[in-house]
Amino acid sequence: MGMLRRQTWLYLAGVCALVLVVYAPLTANQARVSADYEGHADYSQLLYQGRSLSINTYLLHMISTSVVHILTGADFKDSLGITVLLHYVLAGAAIAAAGVWAFGGTLTRPQGVVLAAFVLSVLTIAPLAPEIFTRAVQLLYGYLPPNPHHNPTNMVVRFYALVTLAMGAWAFAVHAPRWWQIALVAVFVFLSVQAKPSWIVAYLPALLAYAVLQALLRQRVNWLALGLGFVLPSLLVLGWQFNQTYDASANYAQLLFAPFEVMLLGGDSYLSLLIKFFASIAFPLGVLLLYWRELWRDHVVRLAWLTFAAAAVQAYTLAESGDRLQEGNWVWGALLANFVLFVVMGVCWLRLNAETLALRARPSRQFVVTSILLLAHSAIGALWWLAHLRPLNIFHQ
């Protein structure tokens, strides 16, 4: 018997509780051992002291300092861990809600189990990388790991990326949006950019390119929603952030066009990079190829792939000068876009195989192949999760 509709909220709350239990140890450990957390804890402390900061991740530090105000016994590393864990839960809730929609609003018990497992796994899913069995840090070289748990800003912005992607698809379906709806879109876009600009700098050009394409095909495009909801808040914040980051007069790092320079830092060959690229997206690509006819008209699918393409181009061609070259800051957008891609294609996979997952239909060949890919990614992701529970920082050994 399917779940009653009023029980859906209890199910979503249960999934959120599972995310909390599974990822609390990980965030607590990373808050103590990750150099990235340590650096951001220093920023939060400076902001708490009323110092002016030239950073592109204000949202993380605003929430972190608020946690310190509320929980007086917490230090800044603890507050960062709590902030990031909150966003794991928010991302998990968003994915679970999308999964419930994919199943038509009600779940059978088998579907509920599969959806919960998918939510837990996609939050730590990893490329098909045999290196995980020898040294986990190798997943950061050449691959595009969707979940770099050691980086708090990427973990925070995932939730806003999912929401703004859905809002972008809405802009191509809505006929007469209300002003409060456009304002809500602008708020989430603003929060996304303030969390980390890496998502929006890939998503915005993809969104505008898709809008132009739709217009040329005489399809519906709500330019008012796009202009006021996405373009205006994005450009206002991104312009200020770009000036802060690449101010030549302040001897800051400069933006460089340097194809493959960052991606080759791990010592890979071009062939190795190509293999690692496809190993990073095996499941989403498999779903796209095997279910092409059912998916190619979907706005969300199109936007997710266009954004990933834009982010990948940025990751493989752009770099920063000086000491910031090795930080690979233009790669983060590709990791975020890959995470979104796994979620979007995963939810589509759930929707297209709803009857099979409810144990009411025999599995198709497409289902078997994509299930194997998803399980393989999830198995590597489980080891990736375990690697981040180690007491030592695996990224600075």
> Could you tell me which of 356, 378, 377, 379 has the C-alpha nearest to residue 368?
356
Nearest to 14 by CA among 135, 120, 85, 86: 120
To which residue do tokens 């230090």 refer? 75
Angle 326-156-337 from CA coordinates, rounded to 5°: 65
pLDDT confidence of residue 184: 97
Q: What is the pLDDT of residue 340?
A: 98
- Residue 2 pLDDT more than 80? no
What is the C-alpha separation between 290 and 303, in angstroms, rounded? 19
Phi-psi region of 359 (alpha: psi -120 to 50; beta: other; left: phi over 0): left
The mean per-residue pLDDT over the stretch 95-109 comes to 94
| pLDDT tier, 395 (very low <50, low <70, confident <90, very high otherwise) | very low
Opening angle at CA 293, ends 290 and 298, nearest 5? 105
Judged against a pLDDT cut of 50, whether residue 206 lies above it is answered with yes
Among 83-97, 181-195, 232-246, the minimum mean pLDDT is found in: 232-246
Positive or negative, the Cα torsion across 260, 262, 263, 264? positive
Structure tokens at 316: 């493989």
**What percentage of residues in the chain have a pLDDT greater than 70?**
94
**pLDDT reported for residue 397:** 40
Residues 6+ apart with CB under 8 A from 370: 283, 286, 287, 290, 349
List the Cα angle 138/339/203 in 5-degree steps.
120
Residue 241's pLDDT is 84
pLDDT band for 141, please (50, 70, 90 cuts).
confident
Q: Where are the alpha helices (DSSP H) in 230-331?
A: 232-245, 270-280, 282-290, 292-295, 299-317
pLDDT bracket for residue 391 (50, 70, 90): low
Q: What is the mean pLDDT of residues 43-68?
A: 85
The residue type of 290 is L
Is residue 116 within 8 Å of residue 18, measured between CB atoms? yes
DSSP state for residue 257 in the 8-state scheme: E
Residue 143 pLDDT greater than 60, yes or no: yes
Q: How many other C-beta atoms lie within 10 A of the C-beta of residue 110?
A: 13
Q: Is the pLDDT at 108 greater than 70, yes or no?
A: yes
Greater model confidence, 245 or 105 = 105
Q: How would you class 327 by CB atoms within 10 Å of its CB: exposed for 0-12, middle for 13-18, buried for 19 or more?
A: middle
pLDDT score, position 251? 53
Residue with tokens 């995470």: 339
Instruction: Reply yes or no on whether the pLDDT at 248 is more than 60.
Output: no
The predicted-structure confidence for 314-339, as pLDDT tens digits, reads as follows 999 999 888 788 888 899 999 999 99
Q: Chain-wide mean pLDDT for the chain?
A: 91
